[in-house]
Amino acid sequence: MAAAAAEQQQFYLLLGNLLSPDNVVRKQAEETYENIPGQSKITFLLQAIRNTTAAEEARQMAAVLLRRLLSSAFDEVYPALPSDVQTA
């Protein structure tokens, strides 16, 4: 459980870096984000959106990224998700 919380915390940092005005930081965050497996991405994004204590900017970025992911790779990603995540 602690490992999952640490991974989610790292994901929040990644979301913040995706919003960075520094091109180098943002580019590195984009590359890191692209290397996260689809199923993990959706889980992290849903958790970020549902976390009312997270920064509003991070939650908005997570919503945009989730929309993009679902619209571009829905048939590939959705069936692989656990049923509890599918109904979240």
Sequential DSSP letters for the chain: -HHHHHHHHHHHHHHHHHT-S-HHHHHHHHHHHHTS-HHHHHHHHHHHHH-TTS-HHHHHHHHHHHHHHHHHHHHHHGGGS-HHHHT-
| Segments of the chain with pLDDT less than 70 | 1, 85, 88
What is the reported pLDDT for 88? 65
Domain ranges of the chain: 2-86
What is the reported pLDDT for 48? 94
